[in-house]
Amino acid sequence: MQRIFGLIKDRVGALLADGTVDRVIGWEKGEFLYDHTPAIFNAEDDLVDLVYDGFCASNLSKYLIDESKKDGKILALLKPCDTYNFNQLIKEHRINRDNVYVLGIECRGMLDIDKIRALGIKGIEKVEEQGDELYIQTIYGDKTCKRNEVLLEKCINCKGKEHVAYDELVTSGEDIPQVESNRFEDVEKLEAMTSDERFAFWRGELSKCIRCNACRNVCPICSCVECVFDNKDSVVASKANTDEFEENLFHIIRAFHVAGRCTDCGECSRVCPQGIPLHLLNRKIIKDINEFYGEYQAGQDTNSLGPLTDFTKEDVEPSIITEKGGEK
Amino acid sequence: MQKIGVFVCWCGSNIAATVDVKAVVDAVSHEPGVVYATDYQYMCSEGGQSQIRQAIKDFGLTGIVVCSCSPRMHESTFRKTAISAGLNPYMVEIANIREQCSWIHKDREDATEKAIILARTAVAKLNLNRPLTPGESPVVKRALVIGGGIAGIQSALDIAEAGYEVDIVEKSPTIGGKMAQLDKTFPTLDCAACILTPKMVDAASNENINLYTYSEVEDVSGFVGNFTVKIRKKARSINADICSGCGVCTEKCPSRKAKDEFNMGLSNRGAIYIPFAQAIPNVPVIDREQCIKFKTGKCGLCEMNCPAGAIDFKQQDELVERQYGAIIVATGFKPISLENFDEFSYSQCPDVITSLELERIMNAAGPTKGKLLRPSDNTPPRTMVFVQCVGSRDTSGCGKTYCSKICCMYTAKHAMLIKEKYPDIDVHVFYIDVRTPGKNFDEFYRRAVEEYGVNYIKGMVGKVAERNGKLLVQGSDLLADDQIIIEADMVVLATAIEPDESARNLATMLTASIDTNDFFTEAHPKLRPVESPTAGVYLSGVCQGPKDIPETVAQASAAAAKVIGLLAKDKLRSNPCVASSNEMLCNGCSTCENVCPYGAISYVSKEIRSAGKMEVRRVAEVNEAICQGCGACTVVCPSGAMDLKGFTNKQIMAEVDAICR
Amino acid sequence: MSIEKTEDSNFEPLIVAFCCNWCSYAGADLAGTSRLSYPANVKIIRVPCSCRVNPMFILRAFQRGADGVIICGCHPGDCHYSTGNYYARRRMTLLFSMLDYLGIERGRTRVEWVSAAEGVKFSTVMNEFSKTIHELGENKKLRDLRCKEFLD
């Protein structure tokens, strides 16, 4: 990770210096060592604050909607999964491609601080990544753990290790260990439950929602000029939870608004302060789309029709759901 | 706040027998916005309507709800009533308390309760109605016909006869299309040229018709009533204004290598040529790829011999831009390529020919001057085999799944003509089914079998192979349950037809839709068969689906009638219940554009004031003249910027709320 | 948290039917003209096309206390606007699947293609659907009690 960071920093510095780009969007240190924050760097000298390690999960593509409207060219550091959102936003004409220089950067999967803590590692002062090992300095002494054991959910279920859009790639040439996973496993578990069990599960999860809007605000697809929930004329406007139905409504409508556009970047779940597995809503729709209409990955390209703006004459009937066997 | 009047109709006893109309009046009079409510025996009668008019005036009503029969019945009646009282017709809502209430419920209490709910739902919606005004747009009184075959010619003639200008754009050097290549036509056996060429002459001489031959449509913009079309007039290398059509140039041309398209490649033509004797316009064209002058710079024999001095080697393509009120697509068809059908040995054996090639061979003006001779050695055949459904009704993926429709009849025609002229020739026809629905069609086919002794064999041909100058045709006879081999001298393939290759590109330019086979799609398969879903674009002939000449001509005239109906209007009034985009909310994502079946949505860059500063945004714009108001765009719009007038999100939500109260 | 089925025999379900103007609404009219009865608890909202039905309308109906929602449109291939019902078909399939996934009884939603000539079908479908909802009982899982109280 140190090596790739060095390569990235050198390349970013060179592109700023030779005038290829005017600004850079990357990450800088946050308040804690595990919450690196998106940041804009305007000059080579500012790059001292640039960081890139296992805590740079945040997807920078959404920021390009506004940044690419400004004068000058911005360099964006995009991990493979981020480029899917980049493509999706290009498809929706939200990003001015001409003003963006995509530096595709290698990613070994991002780390989940909660999983590290769950291993009993507390009082963390520093995390050093060496290959597949993490060396963690804590106030109680040095600890180690396997990198793959503490990956973020979205990285365990990484949908694409390859960049789908870039102007230039920076890679270390090192092998990246693969994690075997079935990203629909949790969805399948829910599907196997009874209707009442599912209802109880989602009631339990969604009732934790405090309507902080973090999921919406981080979502690269939820980037409407004005959100329907904020628009008093939209008939569904609601800025806060007023009763238990509202969380349901908010999350169902949100899942539907991003249906066929969600790239499964997992940011919604990652940022949820209540730990609601919101990605399981989106992933259900993705699973359905794949099963009913053929494999589709939003953001794979910039021109295909999304599954909800397309059809075939032979599409399945909605009765495939309503007349499913078993209990009603 | 609206001032709403509610009018509950008894419909004699149709409603009043099951619904307590007084209770409905009583209940709705307490609804928000309602200032007046009454009931009457027949609201649609003059008496009822005058009550409505009076109430609108007396109470200054801003909208009315009529609780009566289905809006499909009398909505337009009550809208007219509203207009006559000075009220916007879109401030009328109907609560359907007859078809959807009194006629289906027997219990008076249930029916009354439901009627009240339906009435208050209509009131809830009406509270959110806004007056709507149909858009108006002018109509350019000129039509464009794309394609100069029999379909295009017929459409153009009909439009011109009605007094409107019409332009025909034809990509080849002459009008006439496929029909000009045919020898005789079924079921009357009159000669194609005899009935087509007078029409071609009519088209050329009609002062309302302007021909752009050797020309192609390059771009289409605009919408119904006002299309702007760019036409590329390809360089003929001839000054058509001074060319007399004497044909000397075509005789002098030393290049003879080019295959003659009109004769389906069965003969050669010069580099400068007139496609056929009756071509219109009777002006030659230089095939620059074949012309020695263009290839080597030397020659120019045509130029030296032209008495009019009309040859112009330097002529350039010309771009013409014209306005049209309506467009007819008549791009026709072509036989499919036989490259996927090796079993018939079409590419190896010159005596295996397509039906269209046979038309040329049988034609007196064709390569053999009408004598039936084998292309390989110019000898007369003794035995002929016709194979039907070559590439039609094919589910193997090699051909087309559809029936090409014309082959059964023209094969019967060919068989009959051959038997008539050469009774000694044995004629066999392999078929899957013989389909002859059409006036005098089955009689025609039966004559071929019964009078002329054509041997029809139910079954398909598996293989055609050449041996010792003969063609061994191996096929199955399903009725005899037998494999048979026929030693034939010629094999004629009834090749499937497909839309002309220009269809796809043209459909994109017109935002008209095509199906998976590239046939243009009609606006409604039963009720609007000659209109495309794109307003102002009409369909004529085989571009919409396989059809024979009488059907083509019928559709051509039908399309022309639609065009005349359109051009007769000075202004087009459009349905005001159309989509509209709130540009403040529009993301510019193009999702709505992708689902619009009419191409009514376009995107423009617009300066928008947002949070106190101006910024340029990409926003959707709905062309109200094109939008038909389906609302597909409203639901796919992620930000809710797109809404449908007359059926707004808020209105429908208000209806939901009123029902679920 | 299990929801107990309503045993109340007096339960009268509330059913919202979205009908496209060109086929199903006309089919409903034909059912009326033919005096083919179906329960009075079915209330029809006229929309230009089944593709006009926003999932939000359906959620709203459930929120406000509807016990069942049915969307009727032209048969696939017969859409007045040629393609609208194809989009509706995909959207409703995914919505219904999502509601099922959230634990809402899957019988509460339905899509039926009813042509203008199918008055009999319209009436049959509404009778069946009403019966299904009757068996499912009251929609408690998606009801917004607040709204009810406010308005009552």
What is the set of domains in chain C, with CATH numbers? 15-148 (3.40.50)
Chain C residues within an 8 Å CB radius of A204: 1
Per-residue pLDDT tens over the stretch A176-215: 877 788 899 999 999 999 999 999 999 888 888 888 899 9
Please determine, for residue A244, whether its predicted confidence score (pLDDT) is greater than 80: no
Same domain, B338 and B486: yes
Residues B472 and B558 both lie in one domain: no
Q: Give all strands of the β-sheet with B165-169 in edge-to-edge order.
A: B209-212, B165-169, B142-146, B326-329, B537-539
- Based on the domain organization, do B288 and B156 belong to the same domain? no
Asked if residue C144 has pLDDT above 70, the reply is no
B652 touches C: beta carbon within 8 Å: yes
Specify the DSSP class assigned to residue B379.
-
Q: Which residues of A touch B615 (CB under 8 A)?
A: 69
Identify the pLDDT of residue A325.
57
pLDDT tens-place string over residues B271-323: 999 999 999 999 999 999 999 999 999 999 999 999 999 999 999 999 999 99
Q: Is the pLDDT of residue B433 over 80?
A: yes
Distance (Å) from the alpha carbon of A216 to chain B's nearest alpha carbon: 13
Min Cα distance C6 → chain B (Å) is 19
In this predicted structure, what is the pLDDT of residue C149? 40
What is the structure's pLDDT at A30? 87
Average pLDDT on A75-99 reads 95
Check if the beta carbon of residue B548 is closer than 8 Å to that of residue B586.
no
- Are B454 and B504 part of one and the same domain? no
Taking residues B524-550, what's their average pLDDT? 91
**Domain total in chain B:** 5
Q: Does B636 reach chain A within 8 Å, measured CB to CB?
A: yes
pLDDT for the residue numbered A328 = 44
In a domain, B104, yes or no: yes
Cβ(B633)–Cβ(B592) below 8 Å: yes
Asked if B339 contacts B455 with a C-beta cutoff of 8 angstroms, the reply is: no
Decide if B634 and C123 are in contact by the 8 Å CB cutoff. Answer: no
3-state secondary structure chain A: CHHHHHHHHHHHHHHHHCCCCCEEEEEECCCCCCCCEEEEECCHHHHHHEECCCCCCCCCHHHHHHHCCCCCCEEEEECHHHHHHHHHHHHCCCCCHHHEEEEEECCCCCECHHHHHHCCCCCEEEEEEECCEEEEEECCEEEEEEHHHHECHHHHCCCCCCCCCCCEEECCCCCCCCCCCCCCHHHHHHHHCCHHHHHHHHHHHHCCCCCCCHHHHHCCCCCCCCCCCCCCCCCCCCCCCCCHHHHHHHHHHHHHHCCCCCCCCCHHHHHCCCCCCCHHHHHHHHHHHHHHHCCCCCCCCCCCCCHHHCCCCCCCCCHHHHCCCCCC
Q: What is the reported pLDDT for C147? A: 42
The average pLDDT across B374-381 equals 95
Residue pLDDT, tens place only, B79-135: 999 999 999 999 999 999 999 999 999 999 999 999 999 999 999 999 999 999 988
- Answer whether residue B655 is part of any domain: no
- Quick: pLDDT tens for B461-510: 999 999 999 999 999 999 999 999 999 999 999 999 999 999 989 988 88
Q: Which of A200, A285, A312 sits opposite C1 (nearest CB)?
A: A200
Whether residues B403 and B468 share a domain: the answer is: yes
Residue B631 lies in a domain: yes
Indicate whether B62 pLDDT > 70.
Answer: yes
Question: By residue range, what is the domain housing residue B203?
Answer: 142-234+317-332+500-567
Q: What is the reported pLDDT for C2?
A: 40
B221-263 per-position pLDDT tens digit: 888 899 999 999 999 999 999 999 999 999 999 999 999 999 9
Sheet bearing C68-73, strands edge to edge: C42-47, C15-20, C68-73, C109-113
Say if the Cβ atoms of A93 and B618 lie within 8 Å.
yes
List the 108-147 stretch of C: residues with Cβ below 8 A of A. 109-111, 136, 141-146
Q: Residue B489's pLDDT is what?
A: 97
Q: Which of A97, A235, A308 to mutate to test the interface with B (most CBs of B within 10 A)?
A: A235
B585 with A224: Cβ contact below 8 A: yes
B442, B370: one domain: yes
Pair (B194, B326) in one structural domain:
yes
Chain B CB within 8 Å of residue C86 CB: no
Which residues on chain C are in Cβ contact (under 8 Å) with A195? 100, 103-106
Give C-chain residues touching B644 at CB under 8 angstroms.
Answer: 48, 52
Are the Cβ atoms of B595 and C49 closer than 8 angstroms?
no
Confidence tier at C128 by pLDDT (50, 70, 90): very high
Residue B573 included in any domain = no
Q: Is B240 a member of any domain?
A: no
B618 touches chain A (CB under 8 A): yes
Chain A residues with CB under 8 Å of C136 CB are: 328
Indicate whether B657 belongs to any domain.
no
Question: Does residue A241 carry a pLDDT above 70?
Answer: no
Average pLDDT over residues A12-18: 94
- Per residue in B181-226, pLDDT tens? 999 999 999 999 999 999 999 999 999 999 999 999 999 988 889 9
Nearest to A91 by CA among A254, A255, A300: A300
Instruction: Give the CATH number for residue B396.
Output: 3.50.50.60
Query: pLDDT-derived band of residue A31, with 50, 70 and 90 as boundaries?
Result: confident
Q: Higher pLDDT residue, C144 or C41? A: C41
B418-430 pLDDT, tens per residue?
A: 999 999 999 999 9
Nearest C-alpha in A relative to C133: A328
Last residue of a domain, one of B498, B532, B553: B498
- Top pLDDT among C11 and B388 is at B388
Report chain A's C-alpha Rg in angstroms: 21
Q: Give the pLDDT of residue C150.
A: 41
Q: End of a domain among B533, B567, B601?
A: B567
CA distance B379 to B372: 8
Residues B277 and B415 in one domain: no
| Interchain pair A225, B587: CB under 8 A | yes
CB B576 within 8 A of CB B133: yes
Predicted confidence (pLDDT) per residue in B5-36, tens digit? 999 999 999 999 999 999 999 999 999 999 99
B227 shares its domain with B298:
no
Cross-chain Cβ contact C29/B100 below 8 Å? yes
- The confidence band for A24, taking pLDDT boundaries of 50, 70 and 90, is very high
Minimal Cα–Cα distance from C1 to chain B, Å?
A: 26
Picking from C28, C49, C66, the nearest residue to B99 by CB comes out as C28
pLDDT of residue A248: 66
Residue A198 has its nearest CB partner, among C76, C103, C145, at C103
Question: Do B520 and B376 share a structural domain?
Answer: no
**Are both B74 and B219 inside the same structural domain?**
no
Per-residue pLDDT, averaged over B370-390, amounts to 96
Whether residue B350 is contained in a domain is answered as yes
Q: What is the mean pLDDT of chain A?
A: 89
Tokens of B185: 């036509």
**CATH assignment of the domain containing B634:** 3.30.70.3270
Secondary structure (3-state) at B67: strand
Q: In this complex, is the C-beta atom of B638 within 8 Å of any C-beta atom belonging to chain A?
A: yes
The DSSP secondary structure of C12-74, one letter per residue, reads ---EEEEEETTTHHHHHHHHHHTT----TTEEEEEES-GGG--HHHHHHHHHTT-SEEEEEEP
A304 to chain B: closest CA residue:
B594
Indicate whether B480 and B517 sit together in one domain: no
- The partner residue sitting opposite B639, judged by closest CB among A93, A225, A235, is A225
Picking from B100, B105, B650 by the largest number of C CB atoms within 10 A of its own CB, the best residue to mutate is B100
pTM: 0.75
Instruction: Using a CB–CB cutoff of 8 Å, tell me whether B472 touches chain A.
Output: no
Distance of CA B502 to the CA centre of its chain: 14
% of chain A residues with pLDDT over 90:
66
A249 CB within 8 Å of a chain B CB: no
* Of A249-258, B102-111, B541-550, minimum mean pLDDT range: A249-258
